[in-house]
């Protein structure tokens, strides 16, 4: 290039998308491998490993003097970890906190923070050294047991992993957030993990469930209680799971007065005690928890003790459940067992994690044995030379005395006695005192001993079983030296906290009106009355409304609301508002999240979602479906599918069955069919169903009844006609046929609007399209045959017609007011009785 010639610049075209993708992946892997995730072998991230290695370099063993934390931090960032001193100090602080680490790796002197969230003192004030257990993490590091690599400026080397006799990944756990992934491994009990390792060595085919017999679950340094084993099982099987962890608290009576107090002695892992106390105070101030009179933190160096005094008459267990619900007294711990395996992130189950640690220990023991064998063979080689010199002592001494310089003496020894250079040099370096008889015996004894050592080390390298025996023995020593009792208790019960735990279980009466109002009242409101009583009004209704359903249930029971669109909505009984005896209650539409034009077809009270109970459904198009009640045990707020309806079809009837009942379907054209329930096979929740009755053009199903013995079927037509027929007149047929006549439909009486299974004690309500309501007793309706038109119930004006027929849930005994004195006394007795279930 001439002085006037401009330099040539080489320009390469790069696709920006590919460059961004490559650069980001390089950055992500750098974070994953170099900062955020622990290695499965020693359970340490690079910063932890470098801090411990720097302390080892400084000679800060557990039995040596402490050194200032700032000295260690300076060595770490200067030699191995060129990042901020605050991050390194925070790492060291956490390894010294007994409430963060199950087995702390650093022994600290000074203020290293507290469970209240107090910060540690500055690094210039605190002093540290390695904990005794950390010796086991670094043991044999000088015996070529692990690979070393250059530090950040290649001026020194550092271990890429520690030998780690302790299964640190599991006993101390780890947490970290990388790029696109995170790890959260809980701490465990050392004894249990060692027992699991030994089981896996003895029986490599052991399953996760076998390991769970000895490894019960996580063991947090702050103790607490794990509720349920399902999350543990999922984490140990698949590497991911969620634990419900509660603090330990008990309700105890106070020394003075008739009040109770709650004593909190343990907290869930990583919960800040001071913030917890503040949160409880906020809940009391905001009146979200009203039964607490005073909160005191009486914790000291002997242990944790938070006292919550309750007001007089408050139930301690209820307040405690409210604390579990609204505070961090109960937390979720999400387990993600993610660690680096061969520098690649991998989610693993408990067996894989233990197996990889055993493989690491095997590699360490084999490398250590090879190192010791090499050193033993080198020493044996030297001793062989010394032995030759002692056997030829006079000749050796004469040769050395005649030599002009050391090199001549060395070469003479090598030539005359067949020695190697190392052996010859060792003879020249030998002190004269080694020539005494006693010293000569020592050399011979050492040589014999070193030969035995070589034989033993070679046998170890030739046998996997001997290697595994050494590993097991090391595990046994670790277990006896550092193992302790489990702190965290595991209980079988596991249920998410719900408001149900805050509601006392009691029997109540649910009242539902025809126009869709619902409420609940204590069952004691309905007192027992004898014959002739006047009864008690359960709901004041408008003139056009009436009580359609009334049944008793527990506050912890469920209500299933089925709609004409084939959906089901789920409501707990305690979520139904309690109202006064004569109040209307609240509209159902305000309690469930249904569509505005969606109509509730049926309400089913359920105490338990049993697989032996079934739900029978019928649609207007003649389809029927039978599904196990247990299929509806997990609905969503927006409802779930109860039956898959075809376009234009609607759900018209829902009933619970035992699986052995008879089903009756009735159509608007006056046809009906009776068939055995088991003709309809059990189907899934989202199934469409099968044909129940074959319909003629324009016909539709208007009613479904589950028949009981000795019952009668009431049929009503749109022009106000109706009749009762004994159920025995409806013979059992095969599902899907045309059926038989239920009632003759003509222009005079019109089409059928509904059927009901009734007995002589029932009262009926008929509603017309104009809003007229007729109330009548079932006994006023004659029992006649199927093939008839029925009798007139109601005079329907032109343009009006009957739209529905239903039973009245409440009985009106006002006509029987003439009671005896004995009966009158019974009315005021206040004796509680369950109302009839309808």
In Å, how far are 396, 433, 548, 668, 670 from 718, measured between CA atoms?
133, 128, 20, 10, 12
Q: How many other CB atoms are found less than 10 A from the CB of residue 429?
A: 9
b/e per residue 168-197 (b: at least 16 CB within 10 A): bbbbbbbebebeebebbbbbbbbbbbbbbb
Residue 625, classed as helix, strand or coil, is strand
Which residues are 548's β-sheet partners? none
For 661: left if phi > 0, alpha if psi spans -120 to 50, otherwise beta; the answer is beta
Q: Are 143 and 367 in contact (CB under 8 A)?
A: yes
Q: How many other CB atoms are found less than 10 A from the CB of residue 488?
A: 26
- The C-alpha atoms of residue 778 and residue 715 are separated, in whole angstroms, by 12
- The C-alpha atoms of residue 604 and residue 618 are separated, in whole angstroms, by 15
Q: Are 296 and 310 in contact (CB under 8 A)?
A: no
Residue 761, classed as helix, strand or coil, is coil
Instruction: Locate 297 and state its tokens.
Output: 């933190």
User: 354: burial class by Cβ within 10 Å (0-12, 13-18, 19+)?
Assistant: buried
Q: Are 219 and 102 in contact (CB under 8 A)?
A: yes
- The C-alpha atoms of residue 544 and residue 219 are separated, in whole angstroms, by 64
DSSP-derived letter for residue 786 is: S
Quote the radius of gyration of the chain (alpha carbons, Å).
Answer: 43
b/e per residue 89-98 (b: at least 16 CB within 10 A): bbbbbbbbbe
- DSSP H helical segments within 304-432, as ranges? 316-326, 350-391, 393-402, 406-417, 421-429
Catalytic site includes residue 125: yes
Largest Cα–Cα separation, the chain: 148
DSSP-derived letter for residue 762 is: -
- The C-alpha atoms of residue 58 and residue 50 are separated, in whole angstroms, by 12
DSSP-derived letter for residue 144 is: T
- The C-alpha atoms of residue 833 and residue 200 are separated, in whole angstroms, by 62
Instruction: Locate 106 and state its tokens.
Output: 């650093």
> Among residues 66, 125, 482, 574, which one is catalytic?
125
In Å, how far are 95, 688, 720 from 53, measured between CA atoms?
14, 68, 95
Which sign, positive or negative, has the C-alpha torsion 134, 135, 141, 146?
Answer: negative
- The C-alpha atoms of residue 307 and residue 304 are separated, in whole angstroms, by 10
Reduced 3-state DSSP string for 711-724: CEEEEEECCCEEEE
- The C-alpha atoms of residue 400 and residue 406 are separated, in whole angstroms, by 8
Q: CB-based contacts of 144: which residues, under 8 Å, 6+ apart?
A: 367, 368, 370, 371
- The C-alpha atoms of residue 336 and residue 169 are separated, in whole angstroms, by 12
Strands (E), 273-361: 292-297, 306-310, 330-336, 338-341, 344-347
**Active-site amino acid positions:** 125
């Amino acid at each position: 290039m001439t002085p006037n010639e401009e330099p040539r610049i080489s320009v390469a075209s790069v696709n920006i998308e590919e460059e961004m993708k490559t650069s980001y992946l390089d950055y992500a892997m750098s974070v994953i491998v170099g900062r955020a995730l622990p290695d499965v072998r020693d359970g340490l991230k690079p910063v932890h490993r470098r801090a411990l290695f720097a302390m080892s370099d400084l000679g800060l063993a557990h039995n040596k003097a402490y050194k200032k934390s700032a000295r260690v931090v300076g060595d770490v960032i200067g030699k191995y970890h060129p990042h901020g001193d605050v991050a390194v100090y925070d790492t060291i602080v956490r390894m010294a906190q007994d409430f963060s680490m199950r087995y702390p790796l650093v022994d600290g002197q000074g203020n290293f923070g507290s469970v209240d969230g107090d910060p540690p003192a500055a690094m210039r004030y605190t002093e540290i050294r390695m904990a005794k257990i950390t010796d086991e993490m670094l043991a044999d590091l000088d015996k070529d047991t692990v690979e070393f690599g250059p530090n950040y400026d290649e001026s020194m080397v550092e271990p890429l992993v520690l030998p780690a006799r302790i299964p640190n990944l599991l006993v101390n756990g780890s947490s970290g957030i990388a790029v696109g992934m995170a790890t959260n491994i809980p701490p465990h009990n050392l004894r249990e993990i060692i027992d699991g390792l030994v089981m896996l060595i003895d029986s490599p085919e052991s399953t996760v469930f076998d390991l769970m017999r000895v490894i019960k679950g996580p063991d947090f340094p702050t103790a607490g209680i794990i509720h349920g084993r399902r999350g543990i099982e999922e984490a140990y099987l698949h590497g991911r799971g969620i634990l419900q962890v509660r603090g330990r608290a008990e309700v105890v009576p106070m020394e003075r007065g008739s009040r109770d107090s709650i004593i909190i002695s343990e907290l869930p892992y990583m919960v800040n005690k001071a913030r917890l106390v503040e949160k409880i105070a906020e809940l009391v101030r905001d009146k979200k928890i009203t039964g607490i009179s005073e909160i005191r933190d009486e914790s000291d160096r002997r242990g944790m003790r938070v006292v919550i005094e309750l007001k007089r008459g408050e139930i301690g267990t209820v307040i405690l459940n409210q604390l579990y619900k609204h505070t961090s007294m109960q937390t979720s711990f999400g387990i993600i067992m993610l660690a680096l395996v061969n520098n690649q992130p991998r989610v693993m189950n408990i067996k894989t994690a233990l197996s990889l640690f055993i493989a690491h220990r095997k590699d360490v023991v084999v490398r250590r044995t090879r190192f010791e064998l090499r050193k033993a063979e080198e020493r044996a080689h030297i001793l062989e030379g010394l032995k030759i010199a002692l056997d030829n002592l006079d000749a050796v001494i004469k040769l050395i005395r005649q030599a002009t310089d050391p090199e001549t003496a060395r070469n003479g020894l090598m030539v005359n006695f067949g020695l190697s250079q190392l052996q010859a040099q060792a003879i020249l370096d030998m002190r004269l005192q080694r020539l005494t008889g006693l010293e000569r015996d020592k050399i011979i004894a050492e040589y014999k001993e070193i030969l035995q050592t070589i034989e033993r080390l070679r046998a170890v390298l030739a046998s996997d079983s001997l290697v595994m025996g050494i590993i097991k023995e090391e595990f046994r020593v670790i277990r006896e030296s550092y193992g302790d009792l489990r702190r965290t208790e595991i209980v079988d019960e596991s249920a998410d906290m719900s408001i149900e735990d805050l509601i006392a279980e009691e029997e109540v009466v649910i009242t539902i009106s025809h126009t869709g109002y619902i409420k609940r009242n204590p069952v004691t409101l309905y007192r027992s009355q004898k014959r002739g009583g006047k009864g008690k009004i359960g709901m004041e209704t408008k003139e056009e409304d009436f009580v359609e359903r009334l049944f008793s249930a527990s506050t912890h029971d469920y209500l299933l609301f089925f709609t004409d669109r084939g959906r089901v909505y789920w409501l707990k009984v305690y979520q139904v508002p309690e109202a006064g005896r004569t109040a209307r209650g609240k509209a159902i539409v305000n309690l469930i999240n249904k569509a505005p034009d969606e109509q509730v077809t049926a309400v089913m009270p359920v105490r338990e979602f049993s697989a032996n109970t079934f739900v029978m459904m019928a649609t207007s198009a003649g389809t029927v479906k039978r599904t196990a009640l247990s299929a509806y045990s997990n609905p969503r707020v927006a409802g779930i599918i109860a039956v898959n309806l075809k376009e234009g079809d609607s759900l018209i009837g829902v009933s619970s069955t035992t699986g052995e009942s008879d089903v009756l379907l009735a159509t608007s054209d006056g046809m009906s069919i009776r068939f055995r329930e088991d003709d309809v096979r059990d189907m899934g929740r989202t199934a469409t169903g099968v044909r129940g009755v074959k319909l003629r053009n324009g016909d539709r199903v208007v009613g479904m009844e589950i028949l009981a013995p000795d019952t009668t079927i009431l049929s009503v037509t749109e022009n106000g006609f109706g009749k009762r027929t004994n159920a025995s007149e409806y013979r059992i047929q095969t599902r899907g046929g045309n059926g038989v006549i239920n009632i003759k439909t003509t222009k005079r009486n019109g089409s059928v609007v509904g059927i009901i299974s009734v007995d002589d004690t029932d009262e009926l309500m008929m509603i017309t399209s104009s809003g007229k309501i007729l109330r009548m007793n079932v006994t006023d309706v004659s029992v006649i045959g199927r093939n008839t038109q029925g009798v007139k119930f109601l005079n329907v004006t032109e343009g009006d017609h009957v739209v529905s027929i239903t039973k009245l849930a409440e009985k009106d005994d006002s006509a029987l007011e003439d009671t005896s004195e004995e009966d009158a006394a019974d009315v005021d007795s206040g004796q509680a009785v369950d109302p009839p279930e309808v």
